[in-house]
Structure 1
Amino acid sequence: MLLEDESVPVHDGPTRHPLVVFGDHRFCAGERLDVRRMSGPHMHSQVELNYVLDGRITYWFDGRRLQISAGQLCLFWGMIPHQVVEVTEPTNFVCLYVPMSVLVNFNSMSSFRDAVFRGGLIEALNPRPPDRDVFLRWREELLSGDPELEQIVRDELVARIRRIARDGWQDLRERSSAIEISRNQDPDRLPRIEKMLRFIAEKALGEISAIDVGLAAGLHPNYAMSIFKKAVGLTINQAITRHRLDTAQSLLISSDLPVAAVAFEAGFGSLSRFYEAFEGRFSTTPAKYRSSFGVAAARPT
């Protein structure tokens, strides 16, 4: 498990946002409760949930300054560049990370899902009195390293997100008093990047190519590939593969599907390609990865 100050940079540069990895894209929790200013914007592939225990956080969020305060529960997609730029002292929060694939499967709650993938900072309008204690417990259990507890938290946390989608939410970007548009924001390029990321999130489990992703944003494929790599730090094909691996990872942990079925459910057309990509990222085989979580062997085909 990584501390937030120990995130692993995948890409960096003087004018780009580093892509970081938390907990190898699993359900996981930030180890720090105290909130600190960050040296620069970053991105990560998971959906991030923040429950603010006390104090106030000011985020730079994709060209805007947005504040969340004690008692607020918010979530956002980590692929939107974000940075903590100011905190009151003391400020503490619980920070949890959920694989992006969870929201992709919210087909019956498409408006909520789409708002997240369009770059919203989503606030739960009906926070519950037990949330403070529940989020602290989820954090402790995710950090415990106990696979059974992790599975319980997975189920409870997904249910909590579904309740946010059902019970009421708002996008804080739409509150004029909370928004300050950056003069350096590119008004044309960022929506195109968001369209491509959203298309990948929705279609990566099928047969798509980098050309399809570019066309979905109304761009010439070569230009699409160029601006995507500059903004995200990955090629379009790498982003597609990453999403498929996120899905395969979730299926290995949460189901007893045979490895071959996992590969094809996750969008890999070739079993050998799946093994190559999986071992390249996780440095182990899918079967060994599954067994490391204490998951029973898959049923025979």
Structure 2
Amino acid sequence: MGNESTVSEGKWIGSPRDFTVERHVADTMISAHWHDHIEINLLLEGSMTYLFNGKQEYVEAGRMVLFWAAIPHQTIFVTPESPLVCVYLPLVDFLALPIDAASRQAVLQGAFVNEAEASSGTINVRERWADEWLVGGSARQQLVKDEVSIVVRRLILDHTFDRPALASNPRLSGSEIRYTQLLTDLIGQRYGEALTLAAIAKHANVHSTTASRAFRSVLGISVMEYLTRYRLARAMQRLAETDDSILDIADDCGFGSAARFYEVFKRQTGMTPRHFRVSTRPR
């Protein structure tokens, strides 16, 4: 989640290469945002609900959650005065972990991973991460990174994909969430095609005005902005995991041309597709 007061719609949090740990009081977010990290949350007290990838995801105290934050997400419900530890793991560091391909792809394709359980001792260790990251010096910061890597590996290995009962959100109607989930599912299936708002709405059997209003109400961005982000997310995965040509990736992910792909990729990440691919490979 991060310090949401510093985040503007459609902007990245910090640098996509920065590892960061924060502790703050959780709060609801005005609109959805994204940033190119694997985000890890540990709520120390209370509960909260995310809108993630068009769906509601419940988070309870003491159970770590993990998701790819390049997918639009927004907190819509938080119990008052709930302390939260957030870890931002760079995508490059996540890709370097010894995690099986199927699990890694599940995360990059939108899985919201919930920890099955956590002991009080484990919670205390993770709560300490934020303090040691801020004032512990380089040696302790490296220990935090090492501990986070192990915890992430265990979390992925356990395949915890719980979906508890969802908290209600009085600001959003059931139809808005339903339409948004329908549209995000459709984009996930057809993002490689040449799509306009009218075409997406037609495929979903929803009027384009209704689709646009519902989508922006739920996620805080337009349908086409989400489509671009989704295409970019899938392209990043291909760049990291395959040797496919950049032209093929641009075409398969719906960008239409390599020039358009380079333009969008550089604007959103600050690096070229080729540079990103090199940065994900062992040296």
- Verify same fold: TM over 0.5: yes
Change (3 A) 1:235 1:98: closer
Matched, 1:170 2:206: no
Which residue of 1 is the match for residue 251 of structure 2?
Answer: 215
Which residue of 2 is the match for residue 29 of structure 1?
Answer: 21
Which residue of 1 is the match for residue 144 of structure 2?
Answer: 153
Q: Secondary structure at the match of 1:94?
A: strand
Contact 1:3–1:31, Cα closer than 8 Å, also in 2: no
Which residue of 2 is the match for residue 183 of structure 1?
Answer: 179
C-alpha separation between the residues in 2 aligned to 1:139 and 1:184?
A: 35
TM-score w.r.t. length of structure 1: 0.65
Which residue of 1 is the match for residue 233 of structure 2?
Answer: 197
Q: Deviations over 1:142-182 (max 9, x none)?
A: 1226222111111111011111122341164xx6x549744
Change (3 A) 1:224 1:27: same
Alignment of 1:256-275 (within 5 A): 265=283
CA-CA distance at 1:125 after TM superposition: 1.8
Task: Report the number of matched residues.
Answer: 233
Q: Secondary structure at the match of 2:76?
A: strand
Which residue of 1 is the match for residue 75 of structure 2?
Answer: 84
CA-CA distance at 1:86 after TM superposition: 1.4
C-alpha separation between the residues in 1 aligned to 2:269 and 2:127?
A: 37
TM-score w.r.t. length of structure 2: 0.68
Contact 2:240–2:277, Cα closer than 8 Å, also in 1: yes
Which blocks of at least 5 consecutive residues in structure 1 are unaligned? 13-17, 252-264, 266-301
Q: Which has the higher contact order (CA 8 A, sep 6+)?
A: 2
- Give the % identical residues: 24
Contact 2:98–2:153, Cα closer than 8 Å, also in 1: no
Which blocks of at least 5 consecutive residues in structure 2 are unaligned? 168-173, 192-226
C-alpha separation between the residues in 1 aligned to 2:13 and 2:269?
A: 18
Change (3 A) 1:145 1:114: same
Q: Deviations over 1:186-223 (max 9, x none)?
A: 24324535465244234248766553223334x46249
Q: Deviations over 1:130-152 (max 9, x none)?
A: 22111111111112262221111
CA-CA distance at 1:85 after TM superposition: 1.3
Opposite residue 5 of structure 1, the aligned amino acid is S
Contact 2:251–2:258, Cα closer than 8 Å, also in 1: no
